[in-house]
Structure formats: C-alpha cells, structure tokens
Amino acid sequence: MFDDRSILVTGGTGSFGRSLTRELLTRYEPRRLVILSRDEQKQYRMAQEFSPDEHPALRYFIGDVRDGDRLRRAMDGIDYVVHAAAMKHVPIAEYNPFECIRTNIGGAENVINASIDCGVKRVIALSTDKAANPINLYGATKLASDKCFVAANHLAGPGGTRFSVVRYGNVMGSSGSVVEYFQKLLDEGVRELPITDARMTRFWITLKEGVQFVLDRMAAMSGGELFIPKIPSMRIVDLAEAMGGPHITWKEVGIRPGEKLHEVLLPYDEARNTLEFASHYTVHPAFNWWKREDHQVESGERGRAVQRDFQYRSNTNPWKLTREELLSTLAEGSPAEAALAAVR
C-alpha cells in the first residue's frame, strides 16, 4: 500500500524515523517520503545516509509540530502520516513541563488539524507504555495525545482522515535508551553500572519490530484503534549483567522523579474494550458510533475479547527475556536485534 504513495514522518530524523525510512526505501517505491524535523544538523547527517540524489522520493523538510501552518505546507499532497515527533525524556519533561505540553499535546492538535485540512488518508501516532496509568508528565501528555488522535476520527467525519495509535515499550538501541546509556558507560571503562531499582522491569521491542508493527497497523487500521504489540519484558538488572559481563557489578541509585517500578501497556480499565490477536491487542474507542462487531476482524484474523480484569504489565508478562538468553546472543552483535531473536 506504500508504493506510489506520499508519506510524511514527523520527528523523522530520530531513531524510529531513520529505521522507518530505511524500510520504506528498501521494500517500497513511495512517490514522496517527507522527513519533517526541527533539527537541521540531524537532517544533514541523515542526508549523508539517505541521499536525495540516490532516493529521489526523499524530501527533507525543516519544521516543528508546534507550527500548524508549517505542517499544512508539509502535508500538501500527503497520503499517510506517521507521527513520531515528541518530547520523550521523563526527567527533562518534569523540569520543563510547559515545553513538553506544547510539543506533545499542542503538536498533536496541529498534526490532527493539518491532516484533516490537507485530506491525508491515514495517520498513525506513536505512543508509549508511560501513557497507561501515567505518573509522570511525559506519560500524561502522551495519554492526552492518544485521546486526541482517537477522537480526531469523529472530527474528520465519515470518509475523512482516519487516525489510530500504536503504543509500545522501550525501544532497544534507540537514541537515549538504557541500552545506549549502559554501552556508553562500558565504553568509558566503568566497572559498576547504575540501576535505579533491582526489581525494575520494562517492556522491550527492537526498532525493526517497532517499524514493522507500525506499517502493519497502518495497512489494517479502520481509524480509532489503539494497537499494542505482544512483546517481551526483562529486568533491568538482567540487562546490566548481560551487557557488562562477569567483571561488571551494579549498584542501586534510586528511582528518578516520574519513574515507575514496572510499566503497563494495557491497564485493566481498558480491558472491556480490548480484543486479542495473535501478535497484538487492539483497544477500541468507547464511542457510541463505534460498532465493535464491525471491527472484530483484522487482516483476516478474528480477535477475541480479553478477560474483564486483564492487565498487560511488564512484571507479570509471561514472555520474559532472561539474562541467560541475552548472554547467549550478545556476542553476535547488537543486543537490540540479538535479544529478541534468541526467544523467537
């Protein structure tokens, strides 16, 4: 569905955007692929890897999701939008709340309005596990963003732009991830890695799998769904020990402001609106115009309702990456791809 289509990626110079760009240019022949971001240096560096001379469909577009007029200009003639731009670092958001709100909530409103005004066909917005029962500002702004994108379907009206949301956990190997942080410390020669809490668990997904999930859901969406992939969890302690090896120790340094001990992708309050599929969960919108019986089938598969008290939590997730599984694969290369390959 991406051949001969025009696609725009907000925050397109980030880890996800670069991985999505690689996938789209390798597997498809888009008419235009517009990379929108506000960082000219990141665009310059990305253009060294993905040159418009080699990929004529590419367009690098300086702009900020806070600027509605610039978004409307960027979306002229666009078919599909992947909204990946966000302010994502929990401590920075806690210290700069209004900036986080302007980007994550105000930016969502601008993306929605520009998409409707420009006649975009489909929009997928990237969310986070921190938006489920949020305790920090970043999660709260992403929850508000998610609600806006779901509600945007009735703002667009019948036959208008369709909006859906993808929610997943930590991305292994992405910029700013704990994997990158631990690797930086190890490269500097530290002998002790900092752990916020020995009990802490997180959901994990690789960039490649995150990109594929977004592309799959873009193809299958009706508009209004919140999609959650089935992904593994692991203890941060196991990650530190696997990356550091037998000669590296760790110490507890305490949970940072706004940080959870365990993450939730699907709280039980959303279970009543959720269908389970082989690879993911779909949360349906709680609007009277949404008829679940019309949306029980995705890509030929019929979903089934989860139990009313179902929760999808990182500490109770039955699919766990163990330290031994990581150790057996880290020597083969990046832990991002190797870790998940070990348990498939």
Residue 340 in this model has a pLDDT that exceeds 70: no
Average pLDDT of the chain to the nearest whole number? 90
Provide the pLDDT for residue 246.
79
Range of the domain at 69: 6-169+205-230+265-312
Task: Count up the domains in the chain and report the number.
Answer: 1
Residue 306 in this model has a pLDDT that exceeds 60: yes
How far are the Cα atoms of 41, 244, 248, 327 from residue 190, in angstroms, in the given order?
Answer: 30, 10, 8, 19
More confident residue, 170 or 17: 17
Provide the pLDDT for residue 326.
65
Residue 148 in this model has a pLDDT that exceeds 80: yes
| Average confidence (pLDDT) over 214-224 | 96
Q: Given 88, 130, 230, 260, which residue is catalytic?
A: 130
Which stretch of DSSP H or E encloses residue 165? strand 162-168
Provide the pLDDT for residue 325.
64
Cα 312 → chain centroid = 17
Provide the pLDDT for residue 182.
87
In total, the chain counts a number of residues equal to 344
The backbone torsions φ and ψ at residue 87, rounded to the nearest 5 degrees and listed phi first, read -95, 115
Q: Which two tokens stand for residue 52?
A: 């418009």
Handedness of CA 291, 166, 200, 243 (dihedral sign): positive
Query: What is the Cβ-side half-sphere exposure of residue 241, based on CA atoms within 13 angstroms?
Result: 14
Give 160-214 pLDDT, tens digit per residue.
999 999 999 888 766 667 877 888 899 999 999 999 999 999 998 888 899 999 9
Tell me whether residue 255 is in a domain.
Answer: no
Tell me whether residue 222 is in a domain.
Answer: yes
Provide the pLDDT for residue 170.
85
Residue 335 in this model has a pLDDT that exceeds 90: no
240 in Cβ contact with 250 (< 8 Å): yes
How far are the Cα atoms of 59, 161, 207, 266 from residue 83, in angstroms, in the given order?
Answer: 16, 14, 15, 21
Helical H segments across the chain, by residue range? 15-27, 40-49, 68-74, 90-95, 97-101, 107-117, 137-156, 178-187, 207-220, 236-244, 323-330, 335-343
Of these ranges, 94-108, 248-262, 323-337, the one predicted with the greatest mean pLDDT is 94-108
Residue 333 in this model has a pLDDT that exceeds 80: no
Tell me whether residue 14 is in a domain.
Answer: yes
Q: Which two tokens stand for residue 118?
A: 């420009």
Handedness of CA 303, 307, 312, 315 (dihedral sign): negative
Tell me whether residue 342 is in a domain.
Answer: no
Return the CATH number at 16.
Answer: 3.40.50.720
Tell me whether residue 252 is in a domain.
Answer: no
**130 annotated active-site:** yes
Instruction: Write the DSSP string, 228-273.
Output: EE---EEEHHHHHHHHH-TT-EEEE--PPTT--SS-EEE-GGGGGG
Distance CA 78, CA 95 (A): 36
